[in-house]
């Protein structure tokens, strides 16, 4: 058995559309996870025209995901940070303070789309931050960084159900520590910006945490918890996330770069981070909230 899930922005999912698709595919009864926002129904087999329908629904602002019915409720969340749990790329925001924002943002976009080597691109961008006052990090956190909608509910709900939450970023510990604390993650891993005399040195501690390190984190944490990789839902948007997205039981490309979407079967382009709860079969009235 499979489960087809439809997700849109609140109020944007037409019940008639859900009914029409269920009827066309001979699906089971529709379960509304959130009125006019998220619904699911069972399927006996995978539809042959799944991706044609997916493309059509994208034009209507609706995400479609079809996945096996078994083991949807996960025991661990593994999340990227930049452009995933937060709306920004931290290095781009630091670069803007250093006066090289546009240049660094261009490199970031290319690296996240897989056009550049991640480690080399990170080294180049960090080099452009040389002599930036360390105090700017707190300024950026306070004035430029915003949490991605739905993230607080995602972490709180999964933790309320006994799941473990890990934030693993190719960004920097100065940011992951704050974001992890604000959202309630159990641990965080990232790169460390080196500093001296109150200024950034333009270098990062080695080894650089990139694609392979995210895969290693998934393997290490699941082994420590005594669970399997199939018990993990992972989410990210960049090329350096593909390894963990492929290895996890459920890998979600969230508002992802084109090259990342091309390699992932689960793509969320219209919903927010609560989509990861709907994919696990949670209804909105079952969500938990921090605090």
Catalytic residues: 80, 82
Decide if 169 contacts 176 (C-beta within 8 A).
yes
Dihedral over Cα of 122, 127, 177, 286: its sign = negative
User: What's the CA gap between 166 and 95, in Å, rounded?
Assistant: 26
Q: Would strands 199-204 and 193-196 be described as parallel, antiparallel, or unpaired?
A: antiparallel
> Whole-angstrom distance between the N-terminal and C-terminal Cα of the chain?
37
Residue 120 structure tokens: 């080399």
Residue 262 structure tokens: 């091309």
Match 């669970």 to its residue by tokens. 227
User: What's the CA gap between 145 and 171, in Å, rounded?
Assistant: 13
Q: How far is CA 262 from CA 6, 27, 154, 249, in A?
A: 20, 27, 25, 18
- Nearest Cα neighbor of 222 from 179, 270, 279, 164 is 164
User: What's the CA gap between 159 and 288, in Å, rounded?
Assistant: 9
Decide if 95 contacts 105 (C-beta within 8 A).
yes
Dihedral over Cα of 217, 238, 288, 141: its sign = positive
Which H or E element spans position 169?
strand 164-172
């Amino acid at each position: 058995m499979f489960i087809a899930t439809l997700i849109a922005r609140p109020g944007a999912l037409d019940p008639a559309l859900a009914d029409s698709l269920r009827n066309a595919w001979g699906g089971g009864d529709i379960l509304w996870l959130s009125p006019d926002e998220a619904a699911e129904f069972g399927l006996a087999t995978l539809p042959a025209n799944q991706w044609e329908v997916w493309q059509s629904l994208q034009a209507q602002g609706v995400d479609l995901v079809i996945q096996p019915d078994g083991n949807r409720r996960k025991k661990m969340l593994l999340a990227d940070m930049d452009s995933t749990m937060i709306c920004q790329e931290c290095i781009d925001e630091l670069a803007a303070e250093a006066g090289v924002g546009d240049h660094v943002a261009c490199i970031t976009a290319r690296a996240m789309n897989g056009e550049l080597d991640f480690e080399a691109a990170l080294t180049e961008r960090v080099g452009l931050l040389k002599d930036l006052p360390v105090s700017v990090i707190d300024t950026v956190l306070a004035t430029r960084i915003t949490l991605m909608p739905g993230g607080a509910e995602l972490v709180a709900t999964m933790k309320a159900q006994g799941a473990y939450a890990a934030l693993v970023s190719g960004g920097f510990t100065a940011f992951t520590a704050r974001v992890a604390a604000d959202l309630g993650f159990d641990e965080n891993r990232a790169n460390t910006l080196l500093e001296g005399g109150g200024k950034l040195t333009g270098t990062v501690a080695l080894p650089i945490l990139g694609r392979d390190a995210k895969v290693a984190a998934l393997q290490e944490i699941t082994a420590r918890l005594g669970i399997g990789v199939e018990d993990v839902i992972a989410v990210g948007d960049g090329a350096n996330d593909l390894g963990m997205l492929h290895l996890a039981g459920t890998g979600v490309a969230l508002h992802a770069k084109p090259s990342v979407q091309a390699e992932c079967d689960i793509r969320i382009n219209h919903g927010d981070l609560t989509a990861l709860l709907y994919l696990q079969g949670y209804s909105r009235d079952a969500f938990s909230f921090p605090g």
